[in-house]
Amino acid sequence: MLYSDIDVHKKFTHVVVKIEKDEVIKEDEIKAKEDNIERFFEVVEEQFEVAIEATRNYEFFNEVLEDLASRAQ
């Protein structure tokens, strides 16, 4: 199982996909737009779980990721 962390900042979003806790397989800083998020995850072929930083934008990220991830939190 893959895991993703999303850290939301004012001008960008830091996104990481990992195997377990230490092995990063993809990492980038992107603008928090739906097409950017989808493009980042389109190459991730395995199911993944997502941890999203608690933020006012949580619902936006949840809606975008619920179809991409096996479980968006």
Would you write out the chain's pLDDT as a tens digit for each of its 73 residues?
899 999 988 889 999 999 977 899 999 999 989 999 999 998 888 888 898 888 887 888 888 888 788 654 4
At 71 the pLDDT is 53
Instruction: Specify the fold of 2-72.
Output: Nucleotidyltransferase; domain 5 (3.30.420)
At 56 the pLDDT is 83
| 3-state secondary structure (DSSP) of residue 28 | strand
| 3-state secondary structure (DSSP) of residue 72 | strand
pTM above 0.85, yes or no: no
At 72 the pLDDT is 45
Q: Which two tokens stand for residue 63?
A: 């809606």
φ/ψ of residue 56, rounded to 5 = -65, -25
